[in-house]
Amino acid sequence: MPITEQQLVAILPRSRSVAAAFVGPLNAAMQRYAIDQNQKRMAAFIAQCGHESAQLTVLVENLNYSAQGLANTWPSRYAVAPAANPRTPNELAAKLARRPEAIANNAYANRNGNGPDSSGDGWKYRGRGLLQVTGRANYVAAGAALALDLVQHPELLELPWNACMSAAHFWSKNGLNDLADAGNTLAITKRVNGGTKGLDERLALTGRGLEVLA
């Protein structure tokens, strides 16, 4: 059951200017990974992709955080006594503020296959695609699945086809079709986001998707 451009815009209104470029790749990705088998899967997938990509309009993470934003987003690293007051930025947050490349290299250092801060891997392999593939190891895995050299050319995930396919690959690899069948948006969000950030919008978009696709 392919989604139409009109249905996509009805679910994600802010995607109007890019919907024509995404509807074909989305349908191909959903078919390849059995997401198009029912409306629950499609609605959940489009909702999560919509939230993570500002409704298909942002395909690369910019990380342009203020010191306050760093403290709020990563309190264990960029806040003073985060357990007591997660809203107080520390000296490192102040030093990195509004320097996206420095932030990426520091925040993502030695994680998900990245090297140290000085390697530049954090910035090179920052979040890209509809579900924000992040970290060298995840780029390697996505590249192997999609037959793309994402290690040398990570920017390929900024193209609609690859952005959709990488998202659907992640979805399938993490068993999210089963969670969508169960209507478990909370569990899906935790696997996509690592927490529950944006849960209210994800729930709202999923509900809208179910209505539009009914």
Mind spelling out the 3-state secondary structure of 12-31?
A: CHHHCCCHHHHHHHHHHHHH
Maximal C-alpha separation, the chain: 53
Are residues 83 and 52 part of one domain? no
Are residues 117 and 88 part of one domain? yes
pLDDT below 70 — which residues of the chain? 82, 84-86
Instruction: Give domain status of residue 145, yes or no.
Output: no
Among 201, 141, 204, 29, CA closest to 3: 29
Among 154, 107, 104, CA closest to 129: 154
How many angstroms separate the CA atoms of 156 and 12, rounded? 23
Are residues 80 and 49 part of one domain? no
The verdict on pTM exceeding 0.85 is: yes
Instruction: Give domain status of residue 204, yes or no.
Output: yes
Are residues 105 and 86 part of one domain? yes
Are residues 89 and 46 part of one domain? no
Instruction: Give domain status of residue 149, yes or no.
Output: no
Q: What angle do CA 188, 43, 183 make, to 5 degrees?
A: 45
Instruction: Give domain status of residue 27, yes or no.
Output: yes
C-beta atoms surrounding 91 within 10 Å = 10
Instruction: Give domain status of residue 39, yes or no.
Output: yes
Instruction: Give domain status of residue 135, yes or no.
Output: no
Are residues 98 and 79 part of one domain? yes
What is the predicted pLDDT for the residue at 20? 98
Are residues 207 and 165 part of one domain? yes
CB-based contacts of 25: which residues, under 8 Å, 6+ apart? 160, 161, 163, 164, 165
What is the predicted pLDDT for the residue at 86? 67
Are residues 37 and 13 part of one domain? yes
Are residues 72 and 43 part of one domain? no
Instruction: Give domain status of residue 24, yes or no.
Output: yes
User: Which range marks the domain in which residue 72 is found?
Assistant: 67-124
Instruction: Give domain status of residue 34, yes or no.
Output: yes
Are residues 197 and 161 part of one domain? yes
Torsion, Cα 2 3 5 6, to 10 degrees, reads 130
What is the predicted pLDDT for the residue at 43? 98
pLDDT digits (tens, 9 = 90+) for 60-88: 999 999 999 999 999 889 999 767 666 89
Total domains in the fold of the chain: 2
